[in-house]
Structure 1
Amino acid sequence: MTALRAAPVAAPDQAPAAEARAPGPRPLVLGVRHHGPGSARAVRAALEAARPAAVLIEGPPEADTLLSLAGDEDMRPPVALLAHAVDDPGRAAFWPFAVFSPEWAAIRWALAAGAAVRFVDLPAAHTLAATDPTWDDGEEVDGADRDTRVDPIAELARVAGHDDPERWWEDVVELRGAADPYAPFEALAEAMGVLREAHGHGGHPRDLVREAYMRLQLRAARKEFADDVAVVCGAWHVPALSLKTTVAADRALLKGLPKVKTEATWVPWTHRRLARRSGYGAGIDAPGWYGHLFAAPDRPVERWMTKVAGLLREEDRLVSSAHVIEAVRLAETLAAMRGRPLAGLGETTDAVRAVMCDGSDVPLDLVRDRLVVGDVLGTVPEAAPAVPLQRDLTRLQRSLRLKPEALDREVELDLRKENDAARSRLLHRLRLLSVGWGEAVAGRGSTGTFRETWRLRWQPELHVRIAEAGVWGTTVASAATAKAESRALEANALAEVTALAEQCLLAGLSEALPVVMTALADRAALDTDVGHLAQALPALARSLRYGDVRATDTAALGEVAAGIAERICVGLPPACTGLDADAAAEMRGRLDGVHTALGLLPGTGGLADRWSRVLRRLADRDGVPGVIRGRAARLLLDEGRLGEDEAARLMGLALSPGTPPADAAAWIEGFVGGASGGGMLLVHDERLLALVDGWLTSVPAGAFTDALPLLRRTFSAYEPGVRRTLGELVARGPSAGGGARPGAGTPGFAPDLDEARADGVLPVLRLLLGHDEPEKAGR
């Protein structure tokens, strides 16, 4: 391993000079670590010294025809080869490449030098056929675990006495160069040979099959190019490629492998997906840092600290050039103390934390996220193969100026503008196709239905989703329409069809609406469960409102919604009788949803009156659970259809001594619980607060214990300020001027309105409302 500890780092654009060893051993087998800038530099230097006629690279042979695109000026790593099964696009695999990947360096060198370049790993046609147990990493043979896959870097680091494999590899490869371009690969090959022998001379069964295929491809290349061939593959496979095996033995390992028809293309990738935390098995912890090491022409630590300082300045942190100088000095000092050839990621991170972040990990997390990992998104040329749906989406992204980005980005859409409305339709159609590029979120601006807020983030895996969705059509509109129609015919639940109708209106799929509406009418006519009807109505009401904003004809939808509302009014009172606590809580949510939905339905004056009568029946009906009776009373009060005196009477009945404490607590939960402003109602209505206070103080100790969980849930939902105000009002005790009317002695309330104090707010209200003239009429 001493060959790995040679010379200082060579600049990435300067290959170490070839010495007496050129043209080097034949065939030239270069064992690398995937995504290693040191390996990439060494591969480029070795190829430049040997100048082989053909370069064989670990990768799927189906992509051989795509290799020429790697030289296109529009191809910017990180990118990945995507292979998927033609009949099942969801069965897919990626082969990512960064600018500092050794394989990418080999491809670029071969294209520039005019050498033949090919992929020689096991075809994706076999890799994607996952029915053979050979591909099960956890298979057992004779009851023993056959998962012999090892981490060679970790093993070598352990033998060298290091407990951190990443740091060891950084020291011996990434931060060093070599005068002899072949020496590092010979040392790695020797080390891997010893490791494989120690682990049974073979490794995992999947590796044995892959290596057999690679040996066959190497033999074929040597027949065509003699020995003027170079192979770039994972270092673990190097010993296997030099094994003395027969063609028949290698073909026997490949016999009977499962196979599927596949297609391959280039797709953009991201640094974040190269990170190990993304789940990619050959990932690295710090792609941004490795990219910097590869690209920096000289003084990598100084240039890195300058990048960090620029990022922190953008976040309004006070970082000067003096901070950069001190951070570089500290990083170099730490490297010297730790016996490292150059300050690595650990030293630079420690220096940044101490000097630029004042010891805080909060800004340091930002550095890790933006620079150490990074949000670089690669690009591929238009000539790369793509399914028609992908091409249509690309066209729409350009025409709507909605560029895919790796970073989270919020987009505010005003649906009154033509371009924003088209963007909204595209994002909703993609969601219907399970292409989750955008997620609708609550906006910070207007809450009107003409505005939408989306959080966008492009992920490489979305290319697989697009390939899967390609079975529905060649354009986004046709695919979304076909999928909506199919879902409408297959849906069994009414709520599922109503949600689909809402999606169709949001996505502007007018051609799919007739099929969806027919399915909706059929399900609504057959469904007799009031709970299902109540669950379905809110989506219909939102659809009508959104359809109005998008100028969509929703007459048929309105008729179905009105019919469902009528059936709810008839069936809800008996459906609310005799429910247990869980069913009552669920029905209370349905009650809220129906009440809100009826407020959105157009032209429902008569239906609104009928709904009010339904609520009054629920509020007065003894057999209805307390949480529903309380909620019905509250909804009537909010709508002005229940007077304050009557509300106080209903509360007084619910909290009377004859009512079990648990039922009374449930009534309170329905009346003032949740996010319905119940806390402010108690703050401003002295009678209701007095009733609740009096009931609470009269509950027996044993019964209070049973009612406490429900009460705590009710009052804990209030805002902290509301809870504090209620506590102050109760603690203040009865006011001095308590009158004779009920509630006059409630703490914190005067018996009568103070008109002089009330008049004091009028000038402020006029200013806020834009009224210059004082009100001439009475209040």
Structure 2
Amino acid sequence: MTGVEKAGSRRPGTEPLLLGVRHHGPGSARAVRAALDAARPQVVLIEGPPEADALIPLAADEDMRPPVALLAHAVDDPGRSAFWPLAEFSPEWVAIRWALEHEVPARFIDLPATHTLVWGRETVTNPEGEAEATDVAEAEVNDADAGGAAVPEADEADAGDAAEPETTDADVRVDPLAVLADAAGYDDPERWWEDVVEHRGLGERDAFAPFGVLEEAMGALREAYGSGGHERDLVREAYMRLQVRAAQREFGGGVAVVCGAWHVPALRQKATVAADRALVKGLPKVKTDMTWVPWTYRRLARASGYGAGIDSPGWYGHLFAAPDRPVERWMTKVAGLLRAEDRIVSSAHVIEAVRLAETLAAMRGRPLAGLGETTDAVRAVMCEGSDVPLALVHDRLVVGDVLGEVPEAAPAVPLQRDLARLQRRLRLKPEALERELELDLRKETDAGRSRLLHRLRLLGVAWGEPTVSRGSTGTFRETWRLRWEPELSVRVAEAGVWGTTVLAAATAKAEADATAAQGLAEVTGLAERCLLAELPDALPAVMRILADRAALDTDVGHLAQALPALVRSLRYGDVRGTDTGALTEVAAGLAERIFVGLPSACAALDADAAQEMRDHVDAVHTAVGLLGEAGTPEHGGLRGRWHAVLRVLSARDTVPGVIQGRAVRLLLDDGELAQEEAARLMGLALSPGTAPADAAAWIEGFVGGGGGGGMLLVHDERLLGLVDGWLTRVPAEAFTDVLPLLRRTFSAYEPGVRRTLGELVRRGPGQRGSTQAAGAGIPGFGPGLDAGRAAAVEPLVRLLLGLDGSGADESAGLVGVAG
């Protein structure tokens, strides 16, 4: 009797019914449901961690919506974790739901998580840059073995096999589906699987036949390649055999087993109880907790780094859910998405795309149009041959942004429960699709959202990422980019060691980070984050450590790096109503120390160090201005002392030219230096006695750095004339040395500013004086007012000013304004 006949004729009550599946395969899921309906077993055994047996009833909760995952983590080390993802089209999920609906016991029978979390653990980095334990070899095997891995993320938690040398068996195990597809004459394993499983008719007379075919194929592979050289499979399969035997003894037959097809031949194998027990004896253990967590379609995709993933979870979900005419329904979804993105797609496009997909399937000899045919049809008909909108279809529909939900009754660490409570109160629902959130901190709800997101970031739970606000630079406004990833559930579990609530955990974490901080800037940055997160209990400890570090640090560069963060914190504290008195005192003391040490720190610097110090001078200048606004009157006096420091820097010969020029410019901007004096200092710096490289550095410091230096030259004829005259006198042998500095300076200007400067230089400084003296206009913009161009903008100016009158005097005034 052949393998097919054996498997096809076997019924529960004699031997276990082994249903080998491909994980996350809608065809396998439908076949499992049909087989269970036909067999009516007394117990359903599923490949998965036995610790999760108590969580199975939650799958029937009305608030449970896949995709979800079983999460196991070590109690003493929550970062040591593993996931078992399940979608609605996963055969394991279908088996669980069938058992619950028919009041049949369901149990998990794979190697317990208490072993898999600790056995051969190795840390790798996933695509998001987060460390996680993973077994690359096992994950790859399970991804391709026509059943994949029933619990792939648990397999990923075992890392020992990943370091084994590659063998021929291991190479084949990476994708056994490819071996079967190649034997059938296919060059694409996914296309072969769609043809033989996903596109099968639903009216099969024998519900067990598909599993018999798959078992025979996997049996041939196991005979040829064994276990692929991986000891882990042998141990897992020995444990599963022990569990199957125990179920047979308890129920006397009627046992159905849902597992990866790769394991079916091993479970069918005759082995003694003693031999199986010997394999699982003495495995290392770690105390674990388990719960359900939301999962996403995106994390089911291979591209996300999930080893047992699939290419197209959104497409598979559609195939599983569509009651009929899957291609027509899919094209309708695509059309709806493209219309939402303002693309012109009509019903005629849908009809033509369906016809093209079916024609392509017939030409390629396929039983039904698959993802390849529908994608080609969408590209040709709806996207006009462009891959740009097609990429959107792939991201939103083929992969998808579905995020599952779990009921409140699911076990969770106290921190997770507090986070869920805050999310409900603040109406901040986790979503898989990335979105921007604009917050106005003057509103209570938005302020609460800001606090929560900042506290989570401090805890390492990067749900939100701050981004630049559009349309406002006020401290009362924040913009966040939000996206919930399943891995954040692990980060929350890890953060649970710091406290049972988000506030308590963030406070404890901030204090610990301040104690462990290595540099002064690190502590000041932490103080800023404490204010943003509103952690009043953590701030005193952080400020105490900050004061101690600042008193001991004598490096002016370190002090200059630390001051801006403190002053920014004062501004944030103002809008949040936080008491920042202690912070103000520390910032003022830090500024005084910078004033004392900066002149000597700027002496005898090389070019790179001078550029870095110039940036520090800019940062301190901004910070002193803000500190004067935020502080008491004596702190406002910091401006005068800072101006005195800038005068010293502008006149000291040992200070590099880029810092001298910047000091002159800052004094000029603050009104502490007259235009005539600035021109005199520039003339001295650009005199023939100054080396060309030093003069170019002075120019870069004065008009460089993106601080409006270009407009300064546009509106001040004397300064531009000095630069122009100096440049024409630079010797040829020195010109190539100063050119890179000048190019770096002027290339930072806006195109319009560069164009205006070029026009002014072309005309020459001498030709502009008479124009300006006559009051005919702004230098560089023509000899007089262009009345025609000014009149053209008059209607827009009226609209902006809300003027209804049209009198002659008013019109003349508007023309003058427009000019």
Aligned-pair CA distance for 1:546: 0.9
Residue 657 of structure 2 is matched in structure 1 by 626
Aligned-pair CA distance for 1:273: 0.6
Q: Which digits, 9 at most, give the CA deviation of each residue in 1:161-204, with x for residues without a partner?
A: 22211111111111113432111111111111211222245542
The answer to whether the Cα contact below 8 Å between 1:686 and 1:749 also exists between their aligned partners in 2 is no
Query: Partners of 2:714 and 2:168 in 1: how far apart?
Result: 67
Further displaced range: 539-548 or 584-593: 584-593
Further displaced range: 570-579 or 209-218: 209-218
Aligned-pair CA distance for 1:497: 1.4
The answer to whether the Cα contact below 8 Å between 1:202 and 1:208 also exists between their aligned partners in 2 is no
Aligned-pair CA distance for 1:737: 5.5
The 1:44/1:755 distance shift into structure 2, 3 A limit, reads: closer
Q: Is residue 2:86 matched to residue 1:97?
A: yes
Query: Partners of 1:384 and 1:182 in 2: how far apart?
Result: 35
Further displaced range: 657-666 or 303-312: 657-666
Which residue of the other structure, out of 561, 576, 588, is the alignment partner of 1:535? 561
Residue 608 of structure 1 is matched in structure 2 by 639
Q: Is residue 2:747 matched to residue 1:716?
A: yes
Q: Is residue 2:177 matched to residue 1:188?
A: no
The 1:555/1:675 distance shift into structure 2, 3 A limit, reads: same
Correspondence 1:512-551 to 2 at 5 A: 512-551=538-577
Aligned-pair CA distance for 1:522: 1.1
Q: Is residue 2:100 matched to residue 1:111?
A: yes
Q: Is residue 2:710 matched to residue 1:679?
A: yes
The 1:759/1:526 distance shift into structure 2, 3 A limit, reads: farther
The 1:245/1:550 distance shift into structure 2, 3 A limit, reads: same
Which residue of the other structure, out of 723, 731, 743, is the alignment partner of 1:692? 723
Query: Partners of 1:616 and 1:753 in 2: how far apart?
Result: 40
Question: Tell me, what secondary structure is at the counterpart of 1:394?
Answer: helix
Q: Is residue 2:461 matched to residue 1:472?
A: no
Which residue of the other structure, out of 641, 653, 667, is the alignment partner of 1:636? 667
The 1:325/1:490 distance shift into structure 2, 3 A limit, reads: same
The answer to whether the Cα contact below 8 Å between 1:497 and 1:516 also exists between their aligned partners in 2 is yes
The 1:170/1:25 distance shift into structure 2, 3 A limit, reads: farther
Residue 505 of structure 1 is matched in structure 2 by 531
Q: Which digits, 9 at most, give the CA deviation of each residue in 1:134-158, with x for residues without a partner?
A: 84234347x9798554211122112
Aligned-pair CA distance for 1:443: 0.9
Which residue of the other structure, out of 471, 489, 510, is the alignment partner of 1:484? 510
Query: Partners of 1:637 and 1:766 in 2: how far apart?
Result: 36
The 1:216/1:135 distance shift into structure 2, 3 A limit, reads: farther
The answer to whether the Cα contact below 8 Å between 1:137 and 1:147 also exists between their aligned partners in 2 is no
Q: Which digits, 9 at most, give the CA deviation of each residue in 1:90-137, with x for residues without a partner?
A: 111111000001111111111111211111111111111155698423
Which residue of the other structure, out of 325, 340, 357, is the alignment partner of 1:314? 340
Aligned AA (2:497): V
The 1:304/1:226 distance shift into structure 2, 3 A limit, reads: same
Aligned AA (1:31): G
Residue 51 of structure 2 is matched in structure 1 by 62
The 1:109/1:654 distance shift into structure 2, 3 A limit, reads: same
The answer to whether the Cα contact below 8 Å between 1:734 and 1:748 also exists between their aligned partners in 2 is no
The 1:616/1:766 distance shift into structure 2, 3 A limit, reads: farther
Query: Partners of 1:162 and 1:720 in 2: how far apart?
Result: 57
Q: Is residue 2:209 matched to residue 1:160?
A: no
Number of corresponding residues: 759
Aligned AA (1:159): A
Q: Which digits, 9 at most, give the CA deviation of each residue in 1:654-711, with x for residues without a partner?
A: 2333323322222222222233222222233222222333333333333232333333
Residue 33 of structure 1 is matched in structure 2 by 22
Residue 356 of structure 2 is matched in structure 1 by 330
Query: Partners of 1:741 and 1:377 in 2: how far apart?
Result: 66
Q: Which digits, 9 at most, give the CA deviation of each residue in 1:25-79, with x for residues without a partner?
A: 7311111111110111111111111111111111111111001101111100000
Q: Which digits, 9 at most, give the CA deviation of each residue in 1:479-519, with x for residues without a partner?
A: 11111122222223211111111111111111111111111
Q: Which digits, 9 at most, give the CA deviation of each residue in 1:426-477, with x for residues without a partner?
A: 1111111111111111111221111111111111111111101111111111
Aligned AA (1:356): M
Unpaired segments of 5 or more residues in structure 2? 123-157
Further displaced range: 731-740 or 482-491: 731-740
Residue 200 of structure 2 is matched in structure 1 by 176
Aligned-pair CA distance for 1:365: 1.1
Residue 659 of structure 1 is matched in structure 2 by 690
Query: Partners of 2:434 and 2:57 in 1: how far apart?
Result: 33
Q: Is residue 2:108 matched to residue 1:84?
A: no
Which residue of the other structure, out of 674, 684, 705, is the alignment partner of 2:736? 705
Q: Is residue 2:600 matched to residue 1:574?
A: yes
Aligned-pair CA distance for 1:423: 1.1
Residue 400 of structure 1 is matched in structure 2 by 426
The 1:453/1:202 distance shift into structure 2, 3 A limit, reads: closer
Aligned AA (1:119): F
Residue 612 of structure 2 is matched in structure 1 by 586
Q: Which digits, 9 at most, give the CA deviation of each residue in 1:310-334, with x for residues without a partner?
A: 1111111111111110000000001
Question: Tell me, what secondary structure is at the counterpart of 1:84?
Answer: strand
Correspondence 1:344-493 to 2 at 5 A: 344-493=370-519
Correspondence 1:38-53 to 2 at 5 A: 38-53=27-42
What's the TM-score, normalizing by structure 2?
A: 0.87
The answer to whether the Cα contact below 8 Å between 2:423 and 2:429 also exists between their aligned partners in 1 is yes
Aligned-pair CA distance for 1:646: 2.1
Query: Partners of 2:90 and 2:501 in 1: how far apart?
Result: 35
Query: Partners of 2:417 and 2:781 in 1: how far apart?
Result: 71
Further displaced range: 446-455 or 69-78: 446-455
Query: Partners of 1:335 and 1:641 in 2: how far apart?
Result: 79
Q: Is residue 2:699 matched to residue 1:668?
A: yes
Which residue of the other structure, out of 75, 81, 86, is the alignment partner of 2:64? 75
Residue 134 of structure 2 is matched in structure 1 by none
Residue 13 of structure 1 is matched in structure 2 by none
Unpaired segments of 5 or more residues in structure 1? 5-17
Aligned-pair CA distance for 1:218: 1.4
Aligned-pair CA distance for 1:381: 0.6
The 1:363/1:54 distance shift into structure 2, 3 A limit, reads: same
The answer to whether the Cα contact below 8 Å between 1:138 and 1:146 also exists between their aligned partners in 2 is no
What's the TM-score, normalizing by structure 1?
A: 0.92
Query: Partners of 2:180 and 2:99 in 1: how far apart?
Result: 31
The answer to whether the Cα contact below 8 Å between 2:602 and 2:656 also exists between their aligned partners in 1 is yes
Further displaced range: 221-230 or 312-321: 221-230
Further displaced range: 719-728 or 278-287: 719-728
Question: Tell me, what secondary structure is at the counterpart of 1:29?
Answer: strand
Residue 148 of structure 2 is matched in structure 1 by none
Query: Partners of 2:281 and 2:693 in 1: how far apart?
Result: 72
Residue 757 of structure 2 is matched in structure 1 by 726
The 1:563/1:132 distance shift into structure 2, 3 A limit, reads: closer
The answer to whether the Cα contact below 8 Å between 1:534 and 1:594 also exists between their aligned partners in 2 is yes
Query: Partners of 1:636 and 1:254 in 2: how far apart?
Result: 78
Aligned-pair CA distance for 1:599: 1.4
The 1:68/1:301 distance shift into structure 2, 3 A limit, reads: same
Question: Tell me, what secondary structure is at the counterpart of 1:137?
Answer: helix
Question: Tell me, what secondary structure is at the counterpart of 2:161?
Answer: coil
Question: Tell me, what secondary structure is at the counterpart of 2:637?
Answer: helix
Query: Partners of 1:20 and 1:249 in 2: how far apart?
Result: 29
The 1:707/1:259 distance shift into structure 2, 3 A limit, reads: farther
